[in-house]
Every structure is written in C-alpha cells, then in structure tokens.
Structure 1
Amino acid sequence: MTEVNEDQAPQAVKAAPDVAALEQEGEIAADYLEGLLDIADLDGDIDMDVEGDRALVSIVDIKGSDLIGENGEVLEALQELTRLAVHRRTGERSRLMLDVGGYRQGRRVELSKLGAKAAEDVKRSGEAKSLQPMTPFERKIVHDAVAAAGLRSESEGEEPERYVVVLPA
C-alpha cells in the first residue's frame, strides 16, 4: 500500500459559486448605478445576470458613450467604483463585471478575432508575436482565443502597459 504525502494530495476541488451571493452583488451594484444615473441625469435600464463565478451588470438603453470613454477607460473606472460599493456593503471582494451599452460584448468579439488571427500568424511564421497593451479583461479574452487555437500565450510588462505575447507551439 502506498502512503499519500499531504503535499502530494490533489488540489481541493474549486467550490461552486454562491449564486445567491452573486445575485446580491448584482442587486447592490444595480442600486449604486441607479443612484449614479440619477445624479448624472442619464436614462438607462440595468440588467443583472450571473455568469460563471461573477455577477454581470449591464447598463442598457443608454444614449451616448460618456459612461464608456475612450478605449473603455470611463467604464473601467465605473466598474472599480461599483466593485468598491459592493465591497463596502458585503465586506467581500467583488469580481463583478460591468458593461455599458454592449461595449464589452462588442470588444469580446473583436478581441476573440484578434487572438485567433494572432495565433494563425504565429503558427504560420513560427515566431512569437506581441500585441498592444490591454486591460486585464481584454487580455483574458485574447488568452482564451489563443488557447482555443491550440497555442500558448503569456502576459508581459507592467500595468497599464501589460500586453499579451502569443508563443509558437
């Protein structure tokens, strides 16, 4: 009989997300965002959902791009403020994802295509390819697209200049 050393024991299975807690995060975020919309005198509806292990909150039916900003910078800041509001109420760190006017969904499609194209280029050339700096959200989508194409990728650099490098097989 073989002894199992505790250091060799399999990693604990990742716990299933607490959907009720994620829904609560979404509700807190929605209340916070509704208050901000009122203060800014902006009209918009708020949708909430849970995807995987994070709450998703979207401001929909909003006119203009003031809440998105150039390259999503205002959206990123608004997401961080919303996460802080959730943390203040729950005491727990939030991984909530905020979208405004479908911006993130559109970026997801664009970045998936970018990652797949970069993977094709690397397969063809056999040389690593560095991409432009991206936010953590954007890098994650590119990493997923590269992995789906059967290659590896890494993030390099320091924020806010962190970027993805697609590596040959």
Structure 2
Amino acid sequence: MNFKGKTVEEAITAALESLNVTEGELDITIVQEPVKGLLGLIGNKEAQIEVTLKETPISSLLEDEKVVKKETVKNVENNKMPLTEEDRQRKIEKGTGFLKEVLDTLEYPVEYFIRDEGEFIRIDIRGKNVGNLIGKRGETLYAFQYLVNLAANRNDDNSLKFIIDIEDFRKRREKTLDALANRLAKKVVETRKPVSLEPMNPLERKVIHMSLQEHEFVETISEGNEGQRYVKIILKETLK
C-alpha cells in the first residue's frame, strides 16, 4: 500500500492514521523522497512510501472457519459472556467502516458484500483491477483481514472474527495449493527424497497438510522458525 505526503514523515503519518496502527507494526520503504521543482513551483514531487504489515501479527489472525469455531468454544469454556446483538452490530459497523475508509483512501472502486455466518463475519470484495488488493500469495488480503479484526475488536476481550475474500481468491488459492501438494507428493514417491515447500502462512500450510493427510505413501510436517515456517513432504516410515 502506497501513501504520499509533502515529507516522508507526513506520508508515514498518513499511513498510520489510515491503517490505525503504530509505526512498529509496519515495514516502511521510501519509494520517493520529496523533490523541490524549479523555484519551488514547477516539478515538485511529493514523498511516497510503501508500507506492509509485519508478518508476525498477520499470521496470528490467519484463521479459517474451523479455527474460529475452536476459539468460540474456548471462550464459552472460559465463561466469557457471548456477544449481545448490539455488540455484534457495533463491531460489524466498526470493522466494515474501517475497511470502507481504507478502500476510499486507496481509491479502489469496489463493492463488498457482508454475510453474518454466526461464528464469524464474511466480507467478499469484488471489483475490477483488484490484484493489488490481494498481493503476492494473498499477503495484502491477509493484511486487510488483520486490520479489520484489529479495528473491530481493539480493547475488547470478547472478539468477533472477520474473514475477508477478494474475487474468490481463497478458493482459487486453495485449488492451486492442492494441485501443488499432490504434484510434489508424486515427486517424493518417485525420487524417494523429501521435498520442502517455500515458507507459507499458517492457513496455506494447513491446506497442504489437509490435501495429503489421506495420502497412501507420504506425510507432511511443518518446520522452520515462526514467520518462516514451511511444509516438508516425506515418505511414510513404512516405505523408507
């Protein structure tokens, strides 16, 4: 996501205010330093920065419906009071209001559709040229999801989860990962050597694990440090 200002500091301030985060939660890259034109009037260029949300907090909120359900059960076991209808509506308004503000700031002409699934709120975003809102392997999409959850639930222990999708990206990404998992599983069987995938977020690693959990010849494990964890596909012990 890009932001501009007369100075770099002004651009950073605009990003923090728009995204409702602290500077420590962002990775900031200076794209353009401010440039003064002729006599300070012609050819002036504003400072421009590119910001991305740091990976660690994003991964903590990459939850699908099953994870949300487990957390809901846990809240009940901990005797947390369920959200009242008034609280739910207030959180929905805060979350969707924040999302609209960000999309308006970025000047993306999109539509979004809200569905209350009971245990979570699903927001489907649709429009033309929304690839930048998805980002590489969905990184920007997951950042939006994190920020919406943060805006809706800040300073509130009893949270309501939001799951965001853009032009059915999640479904398409899941099909891609499923095909990748099965293709690499075949390679492991043929070569009898383990294969490690690139680092993925928790949700995508789960797709790989689920795709191969019933496989006859291979199994999957997660390795690596937090933020760089990846899936390794290996032969089952009985075949080694």
What's the counterpart of residue 215 of structure 2? Answer: 149
3-state SS of the aligned residue for 2:213? helix
Residue type at the aligned position of 1:127? K
What's the counterpart of residue 163 of structure 1? Answer: 230
What number of residue pairs does the alignment pair up? 155
Q: Partners in 2 of 1:146 and 1:54 — Cα distance?
A: 27
Residue type at the aligned position of 1:164? V
Aligned-pair distance for 1:52?
A: 9.6
For the Cα contact (< 8 Å) 1:60–1:100, is it kept in 2? yes
Confirm whether residue 133 of structure 1 aligns to residue 180 of structure 2. Answer: no
Percent of residue pairs bearing the same amino acid type: 29
Aligned-pair distance for 1:131?
A: 0.8
- 1:16-73 deviation per Cα after TM superposition (whole angstroms, max 9, x unaligned): 998x98x866665333312222233322121234679644322112433221223322
Q: Partners in 1 of 2:209 and 2:92 — Cα distance?
A: 26
Q: Partners in 1 of 2:189 and 2:182 — Cα distance?
A: 11
Aligned-pair distance for 1:148?
A: 3.8
Residue type at the aligned position of 1:159? E
What's the counterpart of residue 40 of structure 1? Answer: 106
* Structure number, greater radius of gyration: 2
Classify 1:39/1:65 alpha carbon distance in 2 versus 1 (closer, same or farther; 3 Å). Answer: same
**Superposition RMSD on alpha carbons, in Å?**
3.2
Q: Partners in 2 of 1:139 and 1:107 — Cα distance?
A: 12
Q: Partners in 2 of 1:53 and 1:128 — Cα distance?
A: 38
What's the counterpart of residue 100 of structure 1? Answer: 166
For the Cα contact (< 8 Å) 1:26–1:57, is it kept in 2? no
Residue type at the aligned position of 1:77? A
- The normalised TM-score by structure 2 is 0.53
Residue type at the aligned position of 1:168? L
Bigger shift: 91-100 or 157-166? 91-100
Q: Partners in 2 of 1:53 and 1:146 — Cα distance?
A: 28
Aligned-pair distance for 1:114?
A: 0.9
3-state SS of the aligned residue for 1:36? helix
3-state SS of the aligned residue for 1:123? helix
Aligned-pair distance for 1:157?
A: 0.6
- 1:67-86 alignment, distance < 5 Å: 67-86=133-152
**Structure 1 unaligned runs (5+)?**
1-13
Aligned-pair distance for 1:146?
A: 1.3
Residue type at the aligned position of 2:212? V
Residue type at the aligned position of 2:222? S
